[in-house]
């Protein structure tokens, strides 16, 4: 079983290397361990990240093959399939750190804000399902002064969506709730800056 605080420190150290343009030797050599992982894996953290091509999770945390259990979906939303995937990793691999990772300039966040302001009848039901997951977190922001500041609105909406996803993980699963209370699980939010490469934990 992985210690959540140690895992969090490992992610922070990896991101510092990424920002500095340095890669660890362990990461570079991790592909040599491929044969060892055919029948088992021990990821030290679960990351629910966005599908955005500019946010390659293993790279921004400078981690290698088998280090992270990554769940990527547009808008880093949390639905039953994502919760089930986290439960699977926690139960099967003893992973005790879960990070919901949002990022700047998120297209899913912007699509949700656009849809809330100017509903589009032509939007596919599949895309709408993502927007509907994000909407509860961000709709209230449109009734504040943020509506006049598009950049800050998008930033605050991204953070609100991450926090909502963290809360859904903490309250949407009896298994995860018990692990948080009794088994040292840590579920946290974070944001990745496309501009700087830095990950800030919320």
Residue with tokens 């509506």: 147
Is pLDDT above 80 for 32? no
- Element spanning 52, H or E: none
pLDDT of residue 147: 85
Annotated binding site for Zn(2+): 50, 52, 103, 106
- Are the C-beta atoms of residues 130 and 74 closer than 8 Å to each other? yes
pLDDT of residue 87: 97
Residues 6+ apart with CB under 8 A from 15: 60, 61, 62, 197, 198, 199
| Class of domain 4-201 as given by CATH | alpha beta
Average pLDDT, the chain: 92
Annotated binding site: 50, 52, 103, 106
Token pair of 39, please?
């029948």
Token pair of 77, please?
């939303």
pLDDT in tens, 49-83: 999 999 999 999 999 989 999 999 999 999 999 99
Residue with tokens 């769940």: 71
Query: In the chain, where are the structural domains located?
Result: 4-201
Q: Give the range among 25-29, 37-41, 98-102 with minimum mean pLDDT.
A: 25-29
pLDDT in tens, 165-195: 999 999 989 999 999 999 999 999 999 999 9
pTM: 0.92
């Amino acid at each position: 079983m992985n210690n959540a605080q140690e895992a969090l420190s490992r992610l922070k150290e990896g991101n510092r290397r990424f920002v500095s343009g340095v890669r660890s030797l362990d990461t570079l050599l991790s592909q040599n361990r491929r044969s060892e992982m055919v029948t088992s894996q021990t990821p030290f953290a679960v990351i629910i990240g966005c599908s955005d091509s500019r946010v390659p999770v293993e790279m921004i945390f400078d981690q290698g093959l088998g280090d992270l259990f990554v769940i990527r979906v547009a808008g880093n939303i949390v639905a039953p399939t994502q919760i089930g995937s986290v439960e699977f990793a926690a139960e099967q691999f003893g992973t005790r750190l879960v990070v919901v990772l949002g990022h700047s300039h998120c297209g899913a966040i912007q699509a949700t804000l656009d849809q809330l302001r100017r509903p589009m009848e032509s939007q596919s039901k599949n895309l709408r399902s993502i927007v509907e997951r994000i909407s509860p977190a961000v709709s209230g922001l449109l009734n504040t002064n943020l509506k006049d500041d598009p950049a800050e609105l998008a930033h605050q909406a991204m953070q609100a969506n991450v926090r909502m996803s963290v809360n859904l993980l903490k309250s949407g699963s009896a298994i995860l709730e018990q692990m948080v209370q009794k088994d040292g699980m840590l579920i946290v939010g974070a944001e990745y800056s496309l501009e700087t490469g830095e990950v800030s934990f919320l």
